[in-house]
Amino acid sequence: MFKFIIVAFMLLFNLHADNKAALEAFKKSDYKKAFEIYEKNAKNGDTTAQSALSYLYANGLGTSKDIEKSIYWLEKSAISGNANAQYDLGMFYLRGNNVEQDSKKAFEFLSKSSEQNNANAQYDLALMYYKGDGVDLNVTKSVQLLESAAISGHKIAQQNVGRVYMQLLKFDEASKWFEKNAAEGDTTVYHFLAEIYCELEDFAKAKAWAQKAIDEGNKEAVELYKKYELQKY
């Protein structure tokens, strides 16, 4: 038994080493060599190689272009648990790329990828929940996924999570993200922050953010400033 485990481990190590060699060949545009290595590893069950092989078939790199074989290897990788393949396949089904459009299958594969903390999958799954596409509309679930993606560094999620929290009237969570956006140079959130702090009756902060928004030419901020008489604070 112990000997078998060592042999299996060495085989796995060699597969990973071969994938590295395939990647280096790919970077050097030696697609034929990359294809040969990835194909060998894919047939031995390496999910990373299966996903890479799918890409090569899809683009006709190192082999003839073959969409059917591309989808075959992508599905094989996704079903075996590769998070990136699950995301790619989910987006194919969502958009109808090379497969028949199917929101339910898209939701299935994006969910599996999301559970493995794939930030891209979390973001696109959040949009599905937000729109009720392939799943019951659930804005609360949407914002939870957006926040997970944002925490992982997904830029578009970071830009939008505050807006969805604001829609849900969760002002503390919204302000946290808006202030992060503002610190990174997003001037469009100044007015939102002014609105939030007016709602929270923290008028000194509201005044500061409203003034920043006014300086950027935001007319709504001017009206907000007048409505709450922020000059008093």
Per-residue pLDDT reduced to its tens digit, 152-161: 999 999 999 9
13, pLDDT greater than 60:
no
Per-residue pLDDT reduced to its tens digit, 90-149: 999 999 999 999 999 999 999 999 999 999 999 999 999 999 999 999 999 999 999 999
78, pLDDT greater than 70:
yes
Residue 100 burial (CB count, 10 A) = 8
Percent of the chain with pLDDT over 90: 91
Cβ atoms of 150 and 138 closer than 8 Å:
no
> How far, in Å, CA of 231 to CA of 4, rounded?
77
Cβ atoms of 110 and 94 closer than 8 Å:
yes
CA angle 5, 51, 69 (to 5 degrees): 115
> Band of the pLDDT at 17, cuts 50, 70, 90?
low
> How far, in Å, CA of 207 to CA of 213, rounded?
10
20, pLDDT greater than 80:
yes
The predicted pLDDT at position 142 comes to 97
Q: What is the amino acid identity at position 209?
A: W
Residue 71: closest CA among 87, 91, 57: 57
The predicted pLDDT at position 183 comes to 96
> How far, in Å, CA of 30 to CA of 201, rounded?
63
Summary mean pLDDT of the chain: 92
> What is the DSSP secondary structure assignment for residue 84, as one 8-state letter?
H
> Band of the pLDDT at 6, cuts 50, 70, 90?
very low
Locate 181 and state its tokens.
Answer: 């956006």
How far from the centroid of its chain's Cα atoms is residue 193's Cα? Answer: 26
> How far, in Å, CA of 62 to CA of 37, rounded?
11
Q: What is the DSSP string of 140-189?
A: HHHHHHHHHHHHTT-HHHHHHHHHHHHHTT-HHHHHHHHHHHHHTT-GGG
How long a stretch of residues is the chain?
A: 233
CA angle 18, 33, 15 (to 5 degrees): 15
